Chains A and B, each alone.
Chain A
């Protein structure tokens, strides 16, 4: 039975945690709106969506 190599997924998880932690979060912790939406909200939802897309598009090499 061929199991996937978990290491790239673990690295992506760490990347997600890094993006969603201090101090990176602090860089965007502003109410300043972009397209009418507060930057912190945009960043949080943007990173969230980005991670979803990353997970769905990533294809490990066979």
Chain B
């Protein structure tokens, strides 16, 4: 059994341990420094809800009240488990506005109201002080039950000890909960120690219950024994009813987050609002487990005869009775931890609340120099709270105080509607909340707090029993005759009913103004809020002015800290100047709210930045402008946001679009998915050809080539590069009418100043107007698609080029190697590897160029090894093209002769960025060239010999030719001379023969006449022969001359026919002249033509047998006139025809007729000398026709 001093020592030692831990946590030394960031530490700190008095009295209360007592823990659990979204919002707003108390939060939510703030603060202080006193009582209770004499605490020393312990706790709270003037800072050391308290009391409860179960395994059976726990079931006693159960549930639900110490832990000590969600299950699980253990301990105490007040100490007395000092110490420590934790947390929370919401609002009106005094003031207030709590305990007793647990809960629960409805319902007004509290607080005072003191005053006791002045309807425990209820539930019922009723009625009959609702909505949605301008008008603020105000109220250090934050916040804002002023003003108020509370901060801001009444109209105007501007801006921003979202979605989708079709498909997909067009598609224009693609929703259009009608809107959209809208009934559009659409938009996709396509989108169910916003969106989409299409085209081209290059290089017989100025190889093709003897496994990518020379081993053509700098690849690095033919290899793979050309690739600054070397295998060519050169040389020698021989032969030929010419000339001269010389005697012979025939020399006999004629005929033949010979000679000598002039061929032919008619008739032939009408004149020599015709007629008559026919025809043919002389003679054999016009050629018939063989040859030469042609056709036995042409005369 522990003695009293030892108990105090243990308490002090435990507190010292907590101090040490808290100190190290605050100093951030050792592993303890990491604890505040742990979620489980924060979660355990919330277990202060399981208070010192709960630790001791839960068991007895359970046995006394039954299940409704469990409802207190379950109610708290329900709020934390399912109300966390609202608490999270409250934490966010509180942290944003730097408020640390519930009145402060309500002030932010409902506008600064001194009455509301003060009323809430008073309610919480009055409701909580007895609750803290009860926890101090729990400390005394623990000491009382572990000492030998139960009456020790009735001694003055005992009270002094409790006072000392209370002061120690207060000092701890000052050291680790109120260290700074600004209460918004988290107290990491305090949080960790509260978590340790939670662990210790949990360990104690588990240890004692397990011990009890171990000692008494039948405990479970006792649970259902009516004599052990008679009030277990609901409705087993008047208090133990369903109404009580539900009432306790609701009281606890409302109070858990509103009690000052719980609010402080949830709001101030949390890292951020998310922690509320993270730890929502911790306290409920803790409560579930501890209450389960507490039931076992209470039953075990009952089984040991611990009933009534004694059962409250079961957790201490069970190990004490079993003589288990360690377990007893642990149980004692658990109680101490539970009481210490709640006391410390409540001291800090109440200090913040009283400072910010009660004291400073008054002090700030008395003095402006609050900054330096803030911290000492808070310490004083904390000590005052501790003193008042101790005083309340001292003046009362534990039994009296034990009823205050639920009284405090009911008081706190009155604020739950303001908190939970205020955080969710923007229309809840300050008036509604205020009226609710105005009705609820007095009701609570009258029905809960006042009756609690009945035991201390006979007057009050009578009042409670009979009602004031005997009015039974006003009895506090049965107000308006409502009886049979648990007194706490009764009080809660009336106070909460009036509270909610007032809220509903005021909300209905005096609703919030639109501005108040908008401000509340902005606050709840996390948007920046501004004070309502009709309350005040801002003058221009400067940083020095702001800083001066902060220094005045907060002191230098805090002012500097807050100014830095304000500067940073304002510099990040991109809003109109009016908004910035409001934001600056808000920033000052927030900076002051932390240490001074929102109410005081609001007062200070109003005082420091006063407003003249005359400025109000201007303020209203400015506000209206601002409101209008913000509204417009909001719409613009929303529209822009939608547009950006669309474009963002489009960009994200286009990232994976690899080709043009995919790009268009993505664009049309977006129109379909996100803009919900009912018809979408695209017209793609490429190389003058249009094709429809990516169609969705269209019923008649099909993808593929599409001819755009010239006079259509689609064509206009393409031509003019602007959006076209076609609507039903107003436009004659082929697609619109084909598809039966109500509206179609043609949005051109313009790239590089030309339309590359058109987006088609439309509606069929309803018409759609092209608003500016929609136009912007469609235009932006088209622009984005144009860029992507352009990129896709380039990609496709690049890909094609790359494939072409790769294929070319891979199939190139020449080796190609590319390297950079650092001689790092960037590219080689397979041919290079083969030509350079590089092993297939060798990875050349990125290798140094010099590595390839180990395989190349280059030499010049004479076999001398080449120096490195001689190689074209190295020389090209200097910026010039280099070429070399070299022998490479030479080892077992053989030797090659390569033609190496290296070309540098230069940038704009003529710097070498790459070198391309081409290696061509010319081994075979080289050997072939060598062989060819040798053969050429041999052939050249042979030709030289041949040339010499030919030159000799040529000389001989030239000489022979000269001889021949001389001979020919001689022959001509001879023929001329002979002909001339022969013509003269012939002329004489002819003349004298004519004389004889004419009988000039005397009459001749008939025989003589015949002889004379024969002489004439022979002379004539001789003359013709000579003429032919002369002509032949002239032709051969090139001296034949013709005198061309216009002649009438018909006349000439008539004369010729007339001349030969007698000879023909004589031979019995028919000579016919067959002339076409209008035979034109010809350009010819009349004598020569007559000579030709005579020759032909002579031959024809000569070779045509009697009875035959000789026909002369003249035909006009194009530019010539043809003359034909045909006969019905025996014809000319075909084999003879080709030689007929050769000189001295004669047929057998010709030879018999005594011809010279020159006539036809001369005739042909004469025809050709006049520009005509001559030919012959013959069918042996039928007909022979000679034909010659002469050019028509040109009419002058």
| A residues apposed to B, CB below 8 Å | 1, 3-6, 9-10, 12-13, 16-17, 20-22, 25-26, 29-33, 35-38, 40-41, 44-45, 48-49, 51-52, 54-56
Kindly identify, within residues 221 to 251 of chain B, every residue whose CB is under 8 Å from any CB belonging to chain A.
Answer: 221, 223-224, 226, 232-235, 242, 245-246, 249
Question: Is there an interface contact between A40 and B78, defined as CB atoms closer than 8 Å?
Answer: no
With both chains docked as a complex, state the minimum distance between the C-beta of B75 and any C-beta of chain A, in angstroms.
Answer: 9
A13-B78, A22-B242, A40-B232 given; A55·B281 CB < 8 A: yes
Contact of A52 among B223, B246, B285, B525 (CB under 8 A): B285
Give CA–CA (A49, B74) in the complex, Å.
10
- Please measure, in the bound complex, the distance between the C-alpha atom of A56 and the C-alpha atom of B232, giving whole angstroms: 30
A9 and B83 contact, CB distance less than 8 A: yes
Contacts of A40 in B (CB 8 A): 67, 232-234
Select which of A3, A5, A55 is within 8 A of B88 by beta carbon: A3
Cross-chain contact A12 with B67 (CB below 8 angstroms): no
Known: A44-B74, A48-B284, A49-B288. A16 touches B82 (CB 8 A): yes
Q: Quick check: is B179 within 8 A (CB to CB) of the other chain?
A: no
Q: Which residue of A lies closest to B74 (CB)?
A: A48
Please encode chain B, from 83 to 126, with 1 for each CB lying within 8 Å of some chain A CB and 0 for all others: 11110110010000000000000000000000000000000000
In the complex, chain A residues whose CB is within 8 Å of the CB of B77: 48, 51-52
> Is there an interface contact between A13 and B284, defined as CB atoms closer than 8 Å?
no
Asked if residues B242 and A26 are in contact (CB atoms below 8 Å), the reply is yes
Residue numbers in B under 8 Å from A6 (CB-CB): 85-86, 424
Contact status B232-A41, CB under 8 Å: yes
- Which residues does chain B contribute within 8 Å of A12, judged by CB atoms? 81-82
For the complex, give the distance between the alpha carbons of A10 and B67 in Å. Answer: 25
Q: Are A38 and B232 in contact (CB under 8 A)?
A: yes
Interface magnitude class on chain B: 35 or more
| B233 surroundings in chain A (CB, below 8 A) | 29-31, 38, 40
Residue B292 interfacial (CB < 8 Å): yes
- In the complex, are the beta carbons of A9 and B249 less than 8 A apart? no
Indicate whether B824 reaches chain A with its CB closer than 8 angstroms: no
Answer whether A52 and B84 are a contact pair too, CB < 8 Å, given A1-B526, A21-B246: no
**Residues of chain A within 8 A of B983, CB atoms compared:** none
A26 → B minimal CB distance (Å):
7
Bits for B248-284, please: 1 = Cβ < 8 Å to A, else 0.
Answer: 0100000000000000000000000000010011001
The answer to whether A4 touches B220, judged by C-beta atoms less than 8 angstroms apart, is no
Q: Does B70 contact A (CB under 8 A)?
A: yes
The 12 sampled A-B contact pairs (Cβ below 8 Å) are A6-B85, A9-B84, A13-B78, A16-B82, A25-B242, A31-B232, A40-B232, A40-B234, A41-B223, A44-B70, A48-B284, A55-B280
Q: Which residues of B contact A20 (CB under 8 A)?
A: 71, 74, 245-246, 249
Give Cα A55–Cα B282 distance, bound, in whole angstroms: 11
Give how many A-B residue pairs fall within 8 Å (CB-CB). 110
Contact yes or no, B82 A9, CB < 8 A: yes
Residues on the B chain within 8 Å of A29, using CB: 233-235
Residues in A neighbouring B221, C-beta threshold 8 A = 33, 36
* Among candidates A1, A36, A45, A54, residue contacting B292 with C-beta atoms closer than 8 Å: A45
Residues in A neighbouring B88, C-beta threshold 8 A: 3-4
How many Å from the CB of B95 to the closest CB on chain A?
Answer: 12
Residue of B at shortest CB range from A10? B82
The reply to whether A36 and B224 form a contact with Cβ atoms under 8 Å apart is yes
Contacts of A10 in B (CB 8 A): 82
A43 to chain B: closest CB distance in Å?
A: 10
Distance between B809 CB and nearest chain A CB, rounded to angstroms: 52
Nearest CB in chain B to that of A34: its residue: B224
Q: Which of A21, A25, A38 contacts B223 (CB 8 A)?
A: A38
B220 engages A36 (CB within 8 Å):
yes
Q: How far is the CB of B242 from chain A (nearest CB, A)?
A: 4
Instruction: Contacts A6-B424, A20-B74, A41-B232 given; indicate if A13 touches B83 (C-beta within 8 A).
Output: yes
Determine the chain A residues whose CB is within 8 A of the CB of B525 once the complex forms: 3
How distant is the Cα of A9 from the Cα of B277 in the complex, in angstroms? 12
Which chain A positions have C-beta within 8 A of B82? Answer: 9-10, 12-13, 16, 51, 55
Minimal Cβ-Cβ distance residue in B for A60: B85
Shortest C-beta distance, A7 to chain B (Å), equals 9
- CB–CB A55/B223 < 8 A: no
Give every chain A residue within 8 A of B86 (Cβ-Cβ). Answer: 6
CB of A55 within 8 A of CB of B81, answer yes
How far apart are the CA atoms of A24 and B280 in the complex, in Å? 26
Contacts of B291 in A (CB 8 A): 45
Which chain A positions have C-beta within 8 A of B83?
9, 13
- A40 to B67 CA separation, bound complex (whole angstroms): 8
Report chain B residues within 8 Å CB of A36: 220-221, 223-224
Q: Which residues of B contact A49 (CB under 8 A)?
A: 288
How far is it, in angstroms, between the C-alpha of A26 and the C-alpha of B246 when the chains are bound? Answer: 13
- Would you list the 4 A-B pairs with minimal beta carbon distance, nearest first? A36-B220, A13-B82, A55-B81, A6-B85
- A residues within 8 A CB of B245? 20, 25
Residues on A with C-beta less than 8 A from B81 are 12-13, 16, 51-52, 54-55
Give the contacts of B119-158 with A (CB-CB under 8 A).
Answer: none
CB closest chain-B residue, reference A14: B82
Assuming A41-B232, A44-B67, is B85 touching A52 (CB within 8 A)? no
CA distance A13 to B86 in the complex (A): 13
| A31 x B74 contact (CB < 8 A) | no
Instruction: State A5–B226 Cα separation when bound (angstroms).
Output: 46
Report the separation of the CA atoms of residues A55 and B74 in the bound assembly, to the nearest whole angstrom: 14
Asked whether, in the complex, the Cβ of A33 is within 8 Å of the Cβ of B78, the reply is no
Q: Is the CB of B220 within 8 A of A51?
A: no
Residue of B nearest to A31 (CB): B224
- Residue pair A37, B220 in contact (C-beta under 8 Å): yes
Q: How far is the CA of A4 from the CA of B249 in the complex (A)?
A: 25
Additional A-B contact list (11), CB under 8 Å, known A22-B242, A51-B78: A1-B92, A1-B526, A3-B85, A4-B277, A20-B71, A21-B246, A29-B234, A38-B223, A41-B223, A52-B285, A55-B82
Instruction: Give bound CA distance, A29 to B68, whole Å.
Output: 12
Check if A3 sits within 8 Å of B526, measured CB to CB.
Answer: yes
**Known contacts A20-B74, A44-B74: does B288 contact A52 (CB below 8 Å)?**
yes
B188-247 contacts to A, CB under 8 A, are 220-221, 223-224, 226, 232-235, 242, 245-246
Out of B89, B223, B280, which one reaches A37, CB within 8 Å?
A: B223
Q: Min CB distance, B251 to chain A, in Å? A: 13
A4 to B83, CA, bound (A): 11
- Please give me the residue from chain A that is nearest to B285 by CB atom: A52
- A residues in contact with B249, CB < 8 Å: 17, 20
With a CB–CB cut-off of 8 A, which chain B residues contact A48?
A: 70, 73-74, 77, 284, 288
- In the complex the two chains form, what is the Cα distance from A22 to B243 in whole Å? 9
Collect the chain A residues with CB atoms within 8 Å of residue B84's CB: 9
Q: B70, B74, B81, B525 — which one has the most chain A CB atoms within 10 A of its CB?
A: B81
Residues of A near B281 (CB, < 8 A) are 52, 55-56
Can you list, as one digit per residue, whether each of B1075-1119 has a CB less than 8 Å from chain A (1) or not (0)?
Answer: 000000000000000000000000000000000000000000000
A13–B73 CA distance with the chains assembled, in angstroms: 15
What B residues does A33 contact at CB under 8 A? 220-221, 223-224
Q: Which residue of B lies closest to A16 (CB)?
A: B78
B617 to chain A, nearest CB (A): 36
- CA–CA, A32 and B67, complex, Å: 15
Once bound together, how far apart are the Cα atoms of A40 and B89, in whole Å?
A: 36
A1: chain B residues at CB < 8 Å are 92, 526
Please name all residues of chain A whose beta carbon is closer than 8 Å to the beta carbon of B277 when the two chains form the complex. Answer: 4
A17 to B79, CA, bound (A): 11
The digit string for B613-641, where 1 denotes a CB below 8 A from any CB of A, is 00000000000000000000000000000
- B223 with A22: CB separation less than 8 A: no
The CA of A35 and the CA of B78, in the complex, are separated in Å by 27
By a CB distance below 8 angstroms, the chain B residues around A32 are 224
Residues in A with CB closer than 8 Å to B67 are 40-41, 44
- B223 contacts which chain A residues (CB < 8 A)? 33, 36-38, 41
Mask: chain B, 405-423; 1 = CB below 8 Å from A; 0 = not: 0000000000000000000
Min distance, Cβ A12 to any Cβ of chain B, angstroms: 5
CA gap between A41 and B294 in the complex, in Å: 13
Q: Max chain A CB contacts within 10 Å: which of B221, B223, B235?
A: B223
